[in-house]
Amino acid sequence: MIADAAGQQFQLMEASITDIHNAIQSGKLTCRSLVQQYLDRIKAYDQHGPAINAMLYVNPKALGQAEAMDRAFKRGAELKPLQCIPLVLKDNFDTADMPTTGGSLALKGMQPAKDAFTVARFRQAGALILGKTNLHELALAGVTASSLGGQTKNPYELTRTPGGSSGGTGAAVAANFATVGTGSDTVNSIRSPSSANSLVGLRPTRGLISRGGVIPVSFTQDAVGPITRTVADAAVMLDVMAGYDPEDPVTASGVGKISSSYTAFLDRNGLKGARIGVLRTLFGSSPDNQEVNRVIASALDVLRTQGAILEETSDRAFDSGMLASDLDVQKWEYKHDLDNYLKAQPNPPVHSLAELIATGKYHKPSLEKFLASSEAQPNGLHERDYKQRRVKIDDLRVRLANALAKNNLVALVYPHQKRLPVMIGDMNQAERNGILASLTGFPAITVPAGFSTPTASAPIGVPVGIEFLGQPFSEPQLLKIAFSFEQATHVRKPPQSTPPLSSR
Q: So which residues are the catalytic ones? A: 90, 165, 189
DSSP letter assigned to residue 423 = B
Distance CA(503)–CA(232), nearest Å, equals 28
Q: Give Cα separations from 499 to 111, 174, 314, 456 (angstroms).
A: 35, 11, 42, 17
Amino acid (1-letter code) at residue 156:
Y
DSSP helix/strand/coil, 355: helix
Asked whether the CA dihedral 143, 144, 150, 152 is positive or negative, the reply is negative
Residue 269: CB atoms within 10 Å: 14
Q: What is the dihedral of CA 339, 345, 350, 351, to 10 degrees?
A: 40
Distance CA(319)–CA(433), nearest Å, equals 8
Q: What is the 3-state secondary structure (H, E, C) of 181-246?
A: EEEEECCCCCHHHHHHCCCEEEECCCCCECCCCECCCCCCCCEEEEEECCHHHHHHHHHHHECCCC
Distance CA(272)–CA(204), nearest Å, equals 24
Amino acid (1-letter code) at residue 395:
D
Phi, psi of 337 (to 5 degrees): -70, -45
Specify whether the CB–CB gap between 467 and 255 falls below 8 A: no
Specify whether the CB–CB gap between 214 and 93 falls below 8 A: yes
Q: Give Cα separations from 160 to 58, 144, 205, 245, 483 (angstroms).
A: 24, 11, 30, 38, 28
Distance CA(150)–CA(94), nearest Å, equals 21
Distance CA(383)–CA(425), nearest Å, equals 35
